[in-house]
Structure 1
């Protein structure tokens, strides 16, 4: 019998993304309405702006999801599972600085080819139990989390099988996707009784969401739009209650980083465990929602610093602000951030991919002597080299916390501890968390190296 070839992790990721989206549409029909709205807006934008700097085939399938885990063992296993899908921990986010008792990383593809194939990402948060101020509740939460297993046993078997043999065939890949969905599905029945649930919720609603159920469940999925301001306006028209303001930078000619909005979290019926076997009581839980994102250029450390300084000047929006007022305020403050790609590149505020122009390609077939001794700026000026912004594939801590908080109720504020939480998370992952600045710089440098190889004698 001939052994079946292994399926590419990129293909497994694409299939998983599609399956997860289909599941979430069934669980949260409003998410399906959101996808339709985003697709409609994107289609219209592409008609009037066909030369947008980055669209590509990936746009229609582009998603990010979010999941909240309770233990280091859960994080370790899910990182091994995501590795089979070509997704790795990139970026560290300490949301506890914004009053959310978790720290996070994003599992995503790292190479340009993998991102082009399918850019699916999972923003993965881990509960920091040391931030639960009540020691008795902390111990209770730890006990609850240690007793549950959020993974179907077949998932662990398939992960181990893949690790031992170097991959999975088509049948095993499909089984991995099928059983992996069990981790992300909604569980109506809580693990705890109503009193424990309310005690956790009073400390922080996210604590109840993480520790109160059999599994973490996907709490949102996010399509990418080419015009998030249009989606924000049209959500209410289609019966989708929007978040008050769009998180992130203001609307610009040259989009940067990440802008996000969402519809408000659903209030869903749940069943609490009773004091006697088989006994239950009913309640309500609010956690799952739908989010929309608009992605711009990846900024360099200098660009990030300028962005953060400008956001600090803006402060926080007030109860009387709406999105229009907030965007006008941000727009005025961001006038000091260049809004042409040429100036952004010259000031080294963003990362770019470089390539030969069609004119240069035609010249290569005859002679490359005209390129000898010329540097990058001169080659760009002469129309020999083109540049395109690199898409920001990651997240903004303040925006992530803002989305979380807007879908949570009142709670006790937590404070950060003095532990080196990033190193602790890396120990659970058994690997370093990739610095996304390094990844963007590698992509930029690779494109420059490729151009230099083609233009023999230039001084790039």
Structure 2
């Protein structure tokens, strides 16, 4: 019998994310092609710098984010319990009503620096808002998912055992294949074709959530060093790439993240009709995405970002046939007002930084020289070369970028204006469904920056570092 023991959440998270990626490559072969393109592009970028893939941090090789859509509060609470075993917790709130989707979301991800360094796998998890659905079909939308159970009895057993603080080897081995069942694609619907078409008419995402027996992963996203080059290579390879890259424009100092994708493919699905006979139909929901991550911006930096993005949106007519090109032009113009030098971004308080004591600083301070205060200013330490810094990576999502991806994968070619502001705040509603408050992403970045200052203070044998 396997002995009980505590478990390494990061190791399980890595095993799960790799297994999920392998499963999705089998289900959506173009995703496998996209991963190959990303690896080729990263190799090209690194060769120009005299480096290779081995020079990248290990997290880059594992980097993925996925997305799922859930139908009930119970499913959301259960997925929270499952992700906790992998060291992933709800971070942030995303109100997708800004683009007319009856959904809101959070992202489950690791939160400590060590956990993020080992594997930053994250899952954007949205849940249906039944109060946003037409009253005439709300009963159908509520009834159908109540009949399904995404979590097998064996998975429930493993989750409950883990919540008691221990896990045996057998449970750890069974966890991955049992968890994959939640995310696996099924090319059959659980509802009659007539019901599917009614739900699809209301919103394709409602049909995608309600009409299938699993919370199938709808995309996985590898991270690239050069998303522009990936976009070019996708087009060359004949992948149905979306027409523009979402997020901020290309910059010398990247911030937040940029995303693109190949468009969702039409997939054969088996339905049954009123007579109980099986009929063939199609469904469009799953696609492949790629991202390039930049620095995490502060609250001040995000406010400036939103202001500049709003300016670009407001100055581009959605009915213009050249909307993508003109919007990108206005975006580049607007972001000329966002500093693009790391030192300016730091001193203006726009980007979070990870500070580290240098060997020079450690050696100097070990002698306890009299000309150094035990409470120096960070700027003094930087000017003396006793401390250096690097931007903290943005680990979260951008709702408007995600919306642009989602809309393109719904086959919507219109470019109606997107609202950057949330509608009425549904955060309390999500908290109730989740059973807890999502963590605030800005607070987490604050903590990472403050932790790095504390480490510098200890390494340099100081009492305090003033910011």
TM-score by length of 1: 0.94
Q: Deviations over 1:147-200 (max 9, x none)?
A: 111222211111011112x03233212211111111101111111112111111
Q: 2:67 corresponds to which residue? A: 66
Aligned pairs for 1:31-110 within 5 A = 31-49=31-49, 55-110=56-111
Q: 1:149 corresponds to which residue? A: 149
Q: Distance in 2 between matches of 1:370 and 1:56?
A: 38
Q: Does the aligned pair in 2 maintain the 1:158–1:176 contact within 8 Å?
A: yes
Q: 1:215 corresponds to which residue? A: 214
Residue 456 of structure 2 aligns to a residue whose secondary structure is helix
Q: 1:352 corresponds to which residue? A: 353
Further displaced range: 357-366 or 37-46 = 357-366
Q: 2:453 corresponds to which residue? A: 448
Q: 2:28 corresponds to which residue? A: 28
Q: Deviations over 1:241-262 (max 9, x none)?
A: 1111111000000000011000
Query: Quick check: 1:433 aligned with 2:438?
Result: yes
Further displaced range: 325-334 or 101-110 = 325-334
Residue 361 of structure 1 aligns to a residue whose secondary structure is helix
CA separation of 1:59/1:270 partners in 2, compared to 1, >3 Å: closer, same or farther?
Answer: same
Instruction: After TM superposition, give the deviation of residue 332 of structure 1 in Å.
Output: 1.9
Residue 226 of structure 1 aligns to a residue whose secondary structure is coil
Q: Distance in 2 between matches of 1:274 and 1:240?
A: 34
Q: Does the aligned pair in 1 maintain the 2:2–2:170 contact within 8 Å?
A: no
Instruction: After TM superposition, give the deviation of residue 421 of structure 1 in Å.
Output: 2.5
Instruction: After TM superposition, give the deviation of residue 330 of structure 1 in Å.
Output: 1.9
Residue 5 of structure 2 aligns to a residue whose secondary structure is coil
Q: 1:379 corresponds to which residue? A: 381
Instruction: After TM superposition, give the deviation of residue 229 of structure 1 in Å.
Output: 0.6
Instruction: After TM superposition, give the deviation of residue 222 of structure 1 in Å.
Output: 0.2
Q: Distance in 2 between matches of 1:47 and 1:367?
A: 44
Instruction: After TM superposition, give the deviation of residue 94 of structure 1 in Å.
Output: 0.4
Q: 1:394 corresponds to which residue? A: 396
Q: Distance in 2 between matches of 1:331 and 1:361?
A: 42
CA separation of 1:410/1:143 partners in 2, compared to 1, >3 Å: closer, same or farther?
Answer: farther
Instruction: After TM superposition, give the deviation of residue 356 of structure 1 in Å.
Output: 1.0
Q: Distance in 2 between matches of 1:140 and 1:417?
A: 28
CA separation of 1:402/1:297 partners in 2, compared to 1, >3 Å: closer, same or farther?
Answer: same
How many correspondences in the alignment? 455
Further displaced range: 338-347 or 394-403 = 394-403
Q: Does the aligned pair in 2 maintain the 1:84–1:167 contact within 8 Å?
A: no
Q: 1:242 corresponds to which residue? A: 241
Q: Deviations over 1:25-54 (max 9, x none)?
A: 0000000000000011112222334699x9
Q: Deviations over 1:98-152 (max 9, x none)?
A: 111100000000000000110000000001111112x221111111111111222
Aligned pairs for 1:298-377 within 5 A = 298-315=296-313, 318-322=320-324, 326-372=327-373, 374-377=376-379
Residue 336 of structure 2 aligns to a residue whose secondary structure is helix
Query: Quick check: 1:5 aligned with 2:10?
Result: no
Instruction: After TM superposition, give the deviation of residue 216 of structure 1 in Å.
Output: 1.8
Q: Distance in 1 between matches of 2:323 and 2:233?
A: 19
Q: Does the aligned pair in 2 maintain the 1:109–1:115 contact within 8 Å?
A: yes
Q: 1:187 corresponds to which residue? A: 186
Residue 190 of structure 2 aligns to a residue whose secondary structure is coil
Q: Does the aligned pair in 1 maintain the 2:31–2:288 contact within 8 Å?
A: yes
Q: Distance in 2 between matches of 1:369 and 1:168?
A: 54
Q: Deviations over 1:220-279 (max 9, x none)?
A: 0000001001101110111211111111000000000011000010100001122234x1
Further displaced range: 386-395 or 189-198 = 189-198
Q: 1:423 corresponds to which residue? A: 428
CA separation of 1:11/1:196 partners in 2, compared to 1, >3 Å: closer, same or farther?
Answer: same
Q: Does the aligned pair in 2 maintain the 1:249–1:259 contact within 8 Å?
A: yes
Structure 2 unaligned runs (5+)?
A: none
Residue 124 of structure 1 aligns to a residue whose secondary structure is strand
Residue 65 of structure 2 aligns to a residue whose secondary structure is strand
Structure 1 unaligned runs (5+)?
A: none
Q: Distance in 2 between matches of 1:410 and 1:457?
A: 58
CA separation of 1:418/1:65 partners in 2, compared to 1, >3 Å: closer, same or farther?
Answer: closer
CA separation of 1:26/1:2 partners in 2, compared to 1, >3 Å: closer, same or farther?
Answer: closer
TM-score by length of 2: 0.92
Q: Does the aligned pair in 1 maintain the 2:98–2:422 contact within 8 Å?
A: no
Q: Distance in 2 between matches of 1:20 and 1:268?
A: 20
Q: Does the aligned pair in 2 maintain the 1:272–1:282 contact within 8 Å?
A: yes
CA separation of 1:381/1:418 partners in 2, compared to 1, >3 Å: closer, same or farther?
Answer: closer
Q: Deviations over 1:351-404 (max 9, x none)?
A: 001111232133244345443253111111121110110000001111111111
Further displaced range: 377-386 or 220-229 = 377-386
Q: Does the aligned pair in 2 maintain the 1:245–1:326 contact within 8 Å?
A: no
Q: Does the aligned pair in 1 maintain the 2:85–2:159 contact within 8 Å?
A: yes
